Amino acid sequence: MCGAIAKDMGLSGTIFVVVCASFITYRIFKRFEPDKPPMVGFLLIVIPTLLAPALHCHIRSLTLAVGIAFTLHYVLILVYVTTYRLSPFHPLAKYPGPIKNKLSKLTMSYISLTGKQHTYYRNLHRRYGDIVRTGPNELSVNSVDAVQPVLGAAGLPKGPFWYNRGPDGVPETVVGTRDPFEHKRRRKTWDRGFGTAAIRNYEEIVVKKARELLEQFEKRAGHEIDLSMWMSYFSYDFMSDMAFGINFDMMRTGYDSTGVRKAVEGELILTAIMAHIPWLFTYLRLFPVIKIRQRLFDLVATYMNRRLAEGSNIKDLMYYLTDEEGLEPVKPTMPTIHSDGLVAVVGGSDTVATPLTGLWYYLLLEPAKLKRLQNEVDIYFPGGEEPLDVTRMANMPYLNACINEVLRLLPPVISGSQRSVKTGSGGRNVGPYFIPEGNQVLNHTLSLHRNPRYFSPYPDTFWPDRWLPERDREELPSNETFILNHAAYIPFSYGPANCVGKNVALLEMRAVTCYVVQKFMFKVKEGFRIDTWEEGIGDFFLVKSPALPVVVETRHQLL
């Protein structure tokens, strides 16, 4: 097994070959980032296997020679990686951040597992300033000057956070599409599905679901409920009717009978963790854990196929996404339609439920603000008039101030969305910072929304008055300056990839708030420390709300 060349080189020469082979392997990984099993297997298994016989010429035990070949190969690769990522030659070397973040994105993957990514990013900004290195090739920015360059019309494409979500040959979702031109093409049907004409069709569904919610609260008057869960049930029931013309029946049955809510939660947690190391999706598909995701895909496919087989009775979202009007030159394929259905389910799930739950939380903490909101609802819909007029709701100052404020404090995508500076572009100026090509950047939404340079006073406090005209605001503390920078307010993201369902989400929030505030009040469950509720918020790309246990009380009993 031992060749003459290996004998002639001696042990030191053979080890030099191992060092060179590992360096070449490192350079291939750095330059091309291969993640497919054949190439990865060749680089990490075949190469050290081929080097082992050369070491065996100088080491009597073949087993020991194999062990040394593999160990040296891997250790040296890690040494090269570590040295470069911490060196002054790295393109992001001048930006501050924890050493563990500079070394690997595994840190952020673990933080995502805990659900505390949003507070971790914010603490990094408090410690290091407006720009911080959150990964080997990633930066987080807490500056309004970076919003337009990163997210605007001439901004950056989506980063590797969205890479490798589905198997080869399966179309990306419209949200995960990283090519700006393909995203613009795919977005057309979505824009029609959430245009002014389409939303008018959804208003009736919002009213129907709000009435169902009131019926369930009426049945439970005097009893304890979890407001977080019920806001989620409303959100899912509305989404299923609006998107597919079916009813998940979560409000009527009082539980997730379809399993879709649990499946969405599992998918969000898994992808939030894996998105920091997206190459690992390739290998997860080989193991049963990926069945967590497949369960959701199968459910969505079932609803989509049923909807397509039955056709549309109204112009629901699928009417537009399947292009039943025939406005597109090429009909969307079934795989594309299924991927769009997945976005409808995930995007329409708790994106509304979270801020609604947050609104009740803040109002329960401050009864005077709740009373002010009740008075406004009673004025705009006097004598118990059913709140059907969405135009009237859109013009209610304090209602919309409350909604704006809860979206500031608890935006549905609380940590923002990663963008990438394309390799070969020469880099990009992002506000006052230069981001070298091949690196990623994100505007951290929570840090931006609570930055006292953009929102003052009370950047961490629920203060709806900041959104009101000056004449209607509470008097400011004498030592405070009023600041409201609308450019720093991005609860639905910004630019061409912003949340397409923004207007429907606002419609839902206004309607549910008016309906519930008009008829009901809530009392915090005895023994529950409501002041700790916000600590239970989980960031799994979309926000996951903890339980909010309250007792339902009808307002007429209290008047």
CA–CA gap between residue 144 and residue 487 (Å, rounded): 7
Residue with tokens 């998918």: 267
Chain-centre distance for alpha carbon 97: 23
Q: Please check whether residue 139 is in contact with residue 132, taking contact to mean a CB–CB distance below 8 angstroms.
A: yes
Q: What is the rounded distance in angstroms from the CA atom of residue 180 to the CA atom of residue 493? A: 16
CA distance linking residue 391 with residue 395, whole number of Å: 7
Packing angle of the helix pair 350-365, 397-409 (nearest 10 deg): 110
Looking at the chain, the number of H-run helices and the number of E-run strands are 24, 13
Query: What is the b/e burial string over 347-381, where b = at least 16 CB atoms within 10 angstroms of the residue's CB?
Result: bbbbbbbbbbbbbbbbbbbeeebbebbbebbeebb
- Token pair 């919002």 is found at 206
* 2 marked as part of a ligand binding site: no
User: How many Å apart are CA 513 and CA 72, to the nearest integer?
Assistant: 63
Report d(CA 111, CA 252) in Å as an integer: 37
Residue 452's contacts (CB-CB under 8 Å, 6 or more residues apart) are: 459, 483
**CA distance linking residue 294 with residue 267, whole number of Å:** 9
Tell me if residue 222 falls in helix, strand or coil. coil
CA distance 248 to 470: 44
Residues 6+ apart with CB under 8 A from 402: 359, 362, 363, 369, 373, 464, 513
Known binding-site residues equal 499
Residue set of the binding site for heme = 499
